[in-house]
Amino acid sequence: MRTSRGLAALCLAGVMLAASACGGSSGGADDGTVELRFGWWGNNDRAAATQKVIDAFQAKNPGIKVKGSFTDFNSYFDRLATEVAGGRAPDVITLGGAYPREYGDRGALLDLAKVSGVLKTDKIGAAALDNGKFGGVQYGVPTGVNAISVVVNPAVFDKAGVKLPEEDTWTWDDFKRIARELATKLPKGTFAVADPTRTDMLDVYARQRGEALYTADGKVGITEKTLVDWWMMTRELRDAGATPPASQTAELITQPAPEQSLMGSGLAAMQFDWSNQLTALSKAAGQPLRLVRVPGESGGTQPGMWLQASQIYSINAKSEHPQEAAKFVDFLVNSPDAGKIILADRGIPANSDVRTAIQSVLGEHEKAQAEFIDTLTPKAGPPLVIGPAGSTDTPKILDRVNAEVLFDRQQPSEAAAEFVKQVGAAIQE
């Protein structure tokens, strides 16, 4: 996940939340209707589907009105940090990655045990549910399950006359070889792969070596050697023209929508991304795309890929209407009616009954995602170690340090040391 510049402001959030206990997150109309606010990130297609879900919920619950609010991924967490610090966060908050732990530890999220009579989780597997549980407290429930993957455009491979990778056996050396071969055969402006440097890929790469981005006791777990090897590889790809030049990569970071990506524009053969992005990327590209496992899974110390909650729904600890908020979250994750609208946009549904209910109405891309998750499940590595408080700064740190490498302002060894130092400071190691 790419994260907020503003989250550092949460260092004061504990005090500010206490001072904001009046809780301006929601309200009520003169006729007694309860009004809830629901915050999430996404694009216009997700917005349209989400509004249909809200409409379906309101039809079944005429006494509750839900106001949805969304922005793009890069802006979402900046805005949320400001809202939380000012006591103005939505009643129902969408989170992911380390954010449930970050906000939960700061007292911003409701302990869902307090609304367990309304919000049921018995049909959601423990592996998915634990993505929202920290210190024995359930702070959120998963929308669905997905996994990091390589999204492949077979048409670009065919155009270059290059064979698709053997996903069960390909190594990182195979990946580099295929990327270099593509680079020599693709037209100018089309690339083998978008720059793969992102926190989830560092975690995969490190886990394959028996490491992880973080240790279970809240320290930096990835070694400088692993980081150096990673950046040596990405510089090699850049120099071969397999990835875009540094200036284009820097620009792409600011354009997170699927249609703005190289893959969504039909200008990349491969892109590392989450499996639930297949539908949006395929629609943007106007071509059928495929999901394959990341390189190095069969030859590492252990598999690096893991099953992860796509997103997490949490409830504002200061909500004036926690029971009604819980009722809405229950509808989002447990209702087949909601599932038939959302389908796999927020991951393959975590609720087993919802998965069964939507199977017959899944489109080609959603079925491909479900098959990918089903195939991966017995091959996946151990659960991910969720980063400690402060780790939500890591993606921004990585973007800055990666730019130093790609623009040749730092050598990989210097960047590795700087990354470890800055992340260690962010998590107060």
In the three-class reduction of DSSP (H, G, I as helix; E, B as strand; rest coil), residue 103 is classed as helix
Half-sphere exposure of 166 (CA within 13 A, CB side): 6
On whether the CB atoms of residues 313 and 327 are closer than 8 A, the answer is no
Picking from 197, 193, 271, the residue whose alpha carbon sits closest to that of residue 230 is 197
* Model pLDDT, residue 267: 97
- Residue 9 has a pLDDT of 38
CB 69 within 8 A of CB 102: no
What confidence category does residue 70 fall into, taking pLDDT thresholds of 50, 70 and 90?
A: very high
Beta strands in 106-158 (DSSP E): 133-134, 137-138, 141-142, 144-146, 148-152
386 vs 47: which has the higher pLDDT: 47
pLDDT at 143 > cutoff 60: yes
C-alpha Rg value of the chain to the nearest Å? 21
Q: Is the pLDDT of residue 100 over 50?
A: yes
Q: What is the distance, to the nearest Å, from the Cα of residue 287 to the centroid of all Cα atoms in its chain?
A: 23
- pLDDT of residue 177 exceeding 90: yes
| pLDDT one-digit tens code per residue, 4-46 | 333 333 333 333 333 333 344 555 556 789 999 999 999 999 9
Residue 92 pLDDT class (50, 70, 90 cuts): very high
Mean pLDDT of the region 229-253: 97
- Taking the C-alpha atoms of residue 244 and residue 287, their distance in angstroms, rounded to an integer, is 21
Q: In what order do the strands lie in the sheet with 268-274?
A: 191-193, 268-274, 148-152, 290-292
- Decide if domain 148-305+390-426 falls under CATH 3.40.190.10: yes
* pLDDT for 21: 34
Q: What is the 3-state secondary structure (H, E, C) of 194-209?
A: CCCCCHHHHHHHHHHC
pLDDT at 127: 73
Q: Span 142-150, mean pLDDT? A: 93
What's the confidence (pLDDT) of residue 28? 57
Averaged over 224-231, what is the pLDDT?
A: 98
Q: Which of 93-107, 121-135, 222-236 has the lowest mean pLDDT?
A: 121-135
- Write out the residue limits of the CATH 3.40.190.10 domain(s) in the chain: 6-145+309-373, 148-305+390-426
Residue 66 has pLDDT above 50, yes or no: yes
Looking at domain 6-145+309-373, does it have CATH number 3.40.190.10? yes
* pLDDT for 91: 98
In a 13 Å sphere around the CA of 168, the CA atoms on its Cβ side amount to: 3
- pLDDT of 338-367, one tens digit each? 999 999 889 889 888 998 899 888 889 989
Measured between alpha carbons, how far is residue 220 from residues 8, 45, 212, 214 in Å? 19, 37, 8, 5
Reference 336, options 324, 316, 315, 354; nearest CA is: 354
What backbone phi and psi angles, to 5 degrees, belong to 191?
-120, 155
For residue 264, name the pLDDT band (cuts at 50, 70, 90): very high
pLDDT tens digit sequence for 283-321: 999 999 999 999 999 999 999 999 888 899 999 999 999
Instruction: Report the pLDDT averaged over residues 196-203.
Output: 97
Q: Of the segments 29-43, 81-95, 372-386, which one has the largest average pLDDT value?
A: 81-95
Q: Report the C-alpha gap between 337 and 408 in whole angstroms.
A: 52
User: What integer pLDDT is reported at residue 27 of this predicted model?
Assistant: 58
What pLDDT score was predicted for residue 322?
Answer: 98
Partnered with residue 416 across adjacent β-strands are: none
Region 171-193: mean pLDDT is 97
pLDDT class for 254, splitting at 50, 70, 90? Answer: confident
pLDDT one-digit tens code per residue, 409-419 = 999 999 999 99
